[in-house]
């Protein structure tokens, strides 16, 4: 599975900006230290000179060995002197070196694996995923809902007949759970299925979770089931398999996938199998998914298969939303 050229290029650009910013920072730091301690600059110049002389000596052959040995001695004396200047003035011994965001690849995005083959560094893979998520989220109302704007005062405090809790109690617990979930989120957190009638805050709370964990740098995608499936289907039936694969990859690999309005999509073989695929791949990778639906358990089993639904129910935290439709005028 892979992302397309467009996303890969954007990722390279973003990483190279990070690298350049880090190199620029190092230059500024170097300039500052050289003007504070001019001897450091002299040392640097002499070290460069030694490097050039050593190369020359090797090329000249003959008594190269004694010359290079002497140069090596001088070089290590200079490096030592530099270290002493830095440390005795309260700087770290590597204060003149560049500091990269990813020290593993020095912000190049490439490392050598144990077989000596150049491979992508995890940092570049992460940037690709972030960008793929941003692309898919471009059309979603992500920033509109927060935990702070989720009100509890509108839920009924009376115990619901036949149960031992009120809507207020239940929704307080759900809100608390969602806040904790966002606070402790990891790419292997549990999935959640939010069920309930329309206008009860399912989308609101799932977006609130998304907002919190995006701030922590996780790759989150929020999609509505009918929208994303229509998009995939369009690419598929136009033979645009690269685009289709890129979206499926992003949906599968992101840290958190939120699928809103499951069950309102057009029912077709393509859509059902696309949903199965995405869920199965995510379950295998232990990546969490949040599903929102108006469907009851029975209806879910009718739309999808019993096996599929029991897999979801076995692996997801279930939340039954209660209350009355927030969109109704007398509610606010
Ligand atoms: N407890 C709440 N406090 C503040 N606003 C709320 C609350 N619950 C819902 N809302 C607001 O009411 C509107 C409807 O809520 P939301 O879209 O989350 O409902 P839903 O459960 O996803 O409904 P549907 O099943 O139709 O998608 C949104 O504008 C949302 O911000
Ligand atoms: Mg909704
Ligand atoms: Zn890296």
252 C-beta closer than 6 A to ligand 1: no
147 lines ligand 1 (CB under 6 A): no
Q: What whole-number distance in Å separates Cα of residue 221 and Cα of residue 213?
A: 11
* pLDDT score, position 14: 95
List all residues 6 or more positions away from 215 whose beta carbon is below 8 Å from its beta carbon.
Answer: none
pLDDT, residue 217, reads 83
Residue where a domain terminates, one of 102, 128, 152: 102
- The CA distance from 128 to 11, in Å, is 5
Please report whether residue 117 resides in a domain.
no
The residues of the chain scoring below 70 in pLDDT are 1-3, 62-64, 139-144, 329-332
In a domain, 253, yes or no: yes
Q: Where is the domain boundary, 85, 102, 119?
A: 102
Q: Is 266 found in the same domain as 170?
A: yes
How far is Cα 215 from Cα 229, in angstroms, rounded to an integer? 27
Task: Say whether 158 sits in a helix, a strand or coil.
Answer: coil
Neighbouring C-alpha atoms within 13 Å toward the C-beta of 294: 11
Judge if 153 and 291 occupy the same domain.
Answer: yes
The CA-atom distances, in angstroms, between 140 and each of 226, 228, 301 are 13, 11, 28
pLDDT for res 214 = 86
For residue 143, the model assigns a pLDDT of 64
**Which parts of the chain are beta strand (E)?**
110-112, 118-120, 191-195, 220-224, 256-262, 289-293, 316-320
* 78 & 153 share domain: no
Do residues 188 and 285 share a domain? yes
What secondary structure letter does DSSP report for 142? G
CA angle 100, 102, 104 (to 5 degrees): 110
> CATH number of the domain that 154 lies in?
3.40.50.300
The β-bridge relationship of strands 110-112 and 118-120 is antiparallel
* Residue located via tokens 């295998």: 284
Picking from 99, 211, 200, 210, the residue whose alpha carbon sits closest to that of residue 152 is 200
Domain total in the chain:
2
Interatomic CA distance for residues 277 and 270, integer angstroms: 11
Ligand 2 centroid, distance to 58 Cα (angstroms): 72
Mutate to test the pocket of ligand 1, among 151, 199, 224, 294 (most ligand atoms within 8 A of CB): 199
pTM assigned to the model: 0.73
Q: Looking at the domain assignment, is residue 119 inside a domain?
A: no
Ligand 1 centre from 322 Cα, in Å? 11
Query: Which ligand minimizes its atom distance to the CA of 194?
Result: 1
Pairing label, strands 118-120, 256-262 = unpaired
Same domain? For 299 and 193 the reply is yes
pLDDT at 215: 83
Domain interval for residue 93:
5-102
Give pLDDT, residue 137.
77
Q: Give the per-residue pLDDT at 216.
A: 86
Query: What distance in Å separates the CA atoms of residue 276 and residue 282, rounded to the nearest whole number?
Result: 10
Ligand 1 within 6 A of 303 CB? no
Tokens 């090797």 — which residue? 58
């Amino acid at each position: 599975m892979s992302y397309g050229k467009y996303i890969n290029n954007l990722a390279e650009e973003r990483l190279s900006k990070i690298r350049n910013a880090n190199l620029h920072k190092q230059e500024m730091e170097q300039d500052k230290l050289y003007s504070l301690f001019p001897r450091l600059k002299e040392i640097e110049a002499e070290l460069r000179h030694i490097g050039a002389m050593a190369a020359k000596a090797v090329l000249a052959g003959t008594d190269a060995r004694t010359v290079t040995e002497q140069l090596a001695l001088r070089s290590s004396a200079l490096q030592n002197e530099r270290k002493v200047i830095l440390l005795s003035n309260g700087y770290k011994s590597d204060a003149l070196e560049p500091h990269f965001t990813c020290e593993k690849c020095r912000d190049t995005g490439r490392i050598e694996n144990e077989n000596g083959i150049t491979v992508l560094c995890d940092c570049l893979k992460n940037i690709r995923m972030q960008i793929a998520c941003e692309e898919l989220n471009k059309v979603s109302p992500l920033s509109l809902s927060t935990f702070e704007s989720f009100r509890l005062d509108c839920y009924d405090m009376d115990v619901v007949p036949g149960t031992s809790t009120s809507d207020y109690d239940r929704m307080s617990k759900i809100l608390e759970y969602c806040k904790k979930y966002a606070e402790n989120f990891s790419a292997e957190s549990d999935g959640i299925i939010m069920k309930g009638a329309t206008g009860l805050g399912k989308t609101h709370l799932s977006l609130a979770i998304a907002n919190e964990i995006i701030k922590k740098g996780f790759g989150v995608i929020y999609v509505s089931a009918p929208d994303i499936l229509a998009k995939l289907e369009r690419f598929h039936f136009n033979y645009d398999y690269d685009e289709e694969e890129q979206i499926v990859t992003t949906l599968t690999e992101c840290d958190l996938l939120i699928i809103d309005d499951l069950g309102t999509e057009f029912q077709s073989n393509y859509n059902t199998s696309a949903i199965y695929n995405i869920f199965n791949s995510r379950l295998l990778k232990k990546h969490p998914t949040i599903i929102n639906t108006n469907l009851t358990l029975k209806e879910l089993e009718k739309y999808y298969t019993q096996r599929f639904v029991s897999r979801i129910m076995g692996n997801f935290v279930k939340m039954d939303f209660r209350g009355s439709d927030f969109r109704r005028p007398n509610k606010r």
